[in-house]
Structure 1
Amino acid sequence: MKTSERLEQALKKLYTAFHNNELNPECCKQCAVGNILDNTDSWKYLSDVHGSLKLNYIGKVHETLERRFNGYTPLELLKIENIFLKACGYTLPLHHKNKKPNNPTDKDILFNGLNEVVRFLCHLDNISNAMDYTKLFEFENEEPKYDLDFFN
């Protein structure tokens, strides 16, 4: 599967963060976007509320100037984080009174979040979902339709 540089880098960073227990939805440096942006929290200044899809003044300026952060626009970054938090079980915007998972760093919860983020990242680059392995089980005339190397 041919991917863009930004997608490949994002997937590597998210994969590494997941397996090194460095993914935390409640930390701006260790959430999905924080990891994509090299564990920085500067992206949080693009919106006034964590989990919001609404750019603030700073975010709008960056969007208008067509700035990209590791390949992603400010609005794309907010959408990535929004999707991640929702898929992890948060009610948005992120607030101590809103619903959240009991153990936000549980691997199953994080996997659900990453699954949706990867789907969205692939959608942004107009490619098939890298997490969709259903093609492995397609068959014709009782034979597998695709080889395992189809993903390379």
Structure 2
Amino acid sequence: METSKRLEQALKKLYTAFHNNELNPECCKQCAVGNILDNTDSWKHLSEYHGALKLNYVGKVHQSFGRKFNGYSPLELLQIEAVFLKACGYELPLHHKNKKPKNPTNKDILFSGLSETVRFLCDLDGIPNVMAYTKLFEFEENEKPKYEFSVTD
């Protein structure tokens, strides 16, 4: 199955972050979108709140100009992050009074978030869910990956 360059890159980054314990839903640089955008937090200026689905003025300007960040529009980035956070057990937007998981960096919680995120990324590209990649996110008790990530050309 053919996948887009943006999807391949996003999957590689999320895979690496997951297995290197560099995935943290509460950190704008280490969340799903933060990792997709090379551990930058500039995307947080597209909305008023982490986990919000509404673009602010800056986000609307970028969206209207057709700006893409590693292949994703500002609105797509907000949607990706919302899917990830909801699947990790957060009530959106992130706020200290809203519901959140007790241990947000628990591998099982992160795996749930990544599974939904990958499904959504595939939906954005109009392809079937590639969760044959599920095995790539499986880990041993020592938190090392069970399988090596390999992309065939």
Q: TM-score, normalised by structure 1?
A: 0.86
Offset at 1:103?
A: 0.3
Offset at 1:90?
A: 0.3
AA matched with 1:25: P
Please report the RMSD computed on the Cα atoms of aligned residues, expressed in angstroms: 1.3
2-structure distance, mates of 1:132, 1:125: 16
Aligned length: 135
Offset at 1:128?
A: 1.0
Aligned to 1:71: 71
Offset at 1:2?
A: 1.0
Aligned to 1:117: 117
Aligned to 2:95: 95
AA matched with 2:89: G
2-structure distance, mates of 1:72, 1:86: 20
**Deviations along 1:24-52, whole A, 9 cap, x unmatched?**
00000000000000000000000001101
Aligned to 1:86: 86
Could you list the runs of 5+ residues in structure 1 that have no partner in the other structure?
134-150
Q: TM-score, normalised by structure 2?
A: 0.86
Return the index of the structure with the highest Cα Rg: 1
Give secondary structure in 2 for the equivalent of 1:70: coil
Aligned to 1:23: 23
Offset at 1:132?
A: 5.1
Could you list the runs of 5+ residues in structure 2 that have no partner in the other structure?
134-150
2-structure distance, mates of 1:20, 1:132: 21
Aligned to 2:58: 58
Give secondary structure in 1 for the equivalent of 2:111: helix
- Please list every run of at least 4 consecutive aligned residues from structure 1 whose deviation after the TM superposition is greater than 3 angstroms: none
Aligned to 1:136: none
Give secondary structure in 2 for the equivalent of 1:96: coil
2-structure distance, mates of 1:129, 1:65: 30
2-structure distance, mates of 1:132, 1:14: 15
**Deviations along 1:84-107, whole A, 9 cap, x unmatched?**
000000011100111100000000
Offset at 1:12?
A: 0.1
